[in-house]
Amino acid sequence: MHKIENKIKNIVEISKKIRIDVVKIIHNAKSGHIGGSLGLADIFTVLYFHTLNHDPNNPNWEKRDRFILSNGHVAPVYYSALAHAKYFPVSELLSLRKLNSRLQGHPNALDLPGVEISTGSLGQGLGVACGMALSAQKDRKTHRIYCSIGDGESQEGSIWESAMFAGHRELSNLIAFTDRNFIQIDGNTEDINKLEPLADKWRAFNWNVLSANGNDIQEIINTFEQAKLEKTKPTMILFYTKLGFPVSYMDGVSKWHGTAPNDEDVKIAIKEIEEYYSKIGLS
């Protein structure tokens, strides 16, 4: 565990707020996917507070980078990142999964600023991202397309159709990343439908493949910056994360893919989150 550097302290502070929000809003809703949302908190914080070229005051700005959440069930961390980036009030987060709320179980592009497409049907988002990237390429636009997919989602055939298409078209303006925590709703991905050697598979489809610790903010920043340098291929980043990070009782336990924490679970989770940030030098 590395001490945080001053230059990324603000990003780390926001990631702590996002994690605590995720725990509280899923507990309040009594429903939601907490494990992946906590595990992805560092990546989403880096995206919205460092990597993406975007403007919360003008969500439809033509030159913005586009972000597609293909694994739409981790909407809680997506919503929390959008709220802290000022796309909508942070107070609205507590409406998660409530009747008539803009924050439903999966993102709805019709109601919420900052959401490019409605997602939730696994395997579909990468294809949409490919279409956006091809359109931008043909129009000689300079913005990039980012896409998040799950490792369980990577068992979908449509993912590999999109992979083949993007590699063939040399969509270098496409940066996708996989949440590689080895957990899906029924257990370990390698027991359900083996994915490894995952990096080799993406390389075989003519992708630039990078890997990083998805729970280390400096490493995430560096990896996204490295991905931006690629000029001839789409990039796939394999972000190795821990389910529920840094909450110890969620690590590797598939139950926490989609189970809401009870009152006691919440107390322990927030305590462990605070302890983790204290250890890395954040009060």
Using the 8-state DSSP alphabet, how is residue 117 labeled?
A: S
Annotated domain spans of the chain:
6-279
- Side-chain half-sphere exposure of 70, counting CA atoms within 13 A: 28
User: Which numeric CATH code is attached to 6-279?
Assistant: 3.40.50.970
> Which parts of the chain have pLDDT scores under 50?
1
Cis, peptide link before residue 56, omega less than 30° from 0: no
Rounded to a whole number of angstroms, the CA Rg of the chain reads: 18
> Over the stretch 207-250, which tens digit does the pLDDT of each residue have?
999 999 999 999 999 999 999 999 999 999 999 999 999 999 99
Q: At what angle do helices 263-279 and 9-29 cross, to 10 degrees?
A: 180
> Over the stretch 36-51, which tens digit does the pLDDT of each residue have?
999 999 999 999 999 9
CA distances in angstroms from 203 to 131, 209, 252, listed in the order given? 20, 6, 27
CB 210 within 8 A of CB 227: yes
Which is it for the CA torsion 229, 234, 238, 243, positive or negative?
Answer: positive
